[in-house]
Amino acid sequence: MPLIYFTAVAAIVFLALRLTCGACVMGGNDGAGHAHLPIVSLGWALSLFLALTYVVCVVFDLIFPGYAMYEVWSGLLPGFVWLTPAGFIIGLVESFLYGWYAALIFGGLFNAIAGRRAGA
């Protein structure tokens, strides 16, 4: 259920930004040298970063069980169950999706604000 909630919020905020700001939300070069974040590149970078960090953390928890943080993950990653193949895949997919969520919200807001400041 939380995954559906985050997806719905991201979609609503991104669409609202897209409708009010237009193409500036997606970033890219506007020809005037204004700062814009390319949303697609940011989404892939954040998603891969979070997915790789998740894998490194799982390996760390297996090597150093005394310092494990998998109890915290169950609150952050709905459906995550420690040391099950399904739990690992769910955690990996959700980590990847959280990267896109952050890129859409942060990147869209940054581009909308940068676009408004450039026009002011």
Quickly list DSSP for the chain.
-HHHHHHHHHHHHHHHHHHHHGGGGG----SS------HHHHHHHHHHHHHHHHHHHHHHHHH-GGG--HHHHHHHSTT--TT-HHHHHHHHHHHHHHHHHHIIIIIHHHHHHHHHHHH-
The per-residue pLDDT for 46 is 96
Look up tokens 């408004």; give the residue. Answer: 116
The per-residue pLDDT for 98 is 94
The per-residue pLDDT for 31 is 57
Q: What would the two tokens of residue 23 be? A: 């193409």
Give pLDDT tens digits along the chain (120 positions). Answer: 666 776 777 778 777 777 766 666 666 655 566 678 898 999 999 999 999 999 999 999 999 999 988 888 888 888 899 989 999 999 999 999 999 999 988 988 888 888 766 655
The per-residue pLDDT for 83 is 87
Q: What would the two tokens of residue 58 be? A: 């799982």
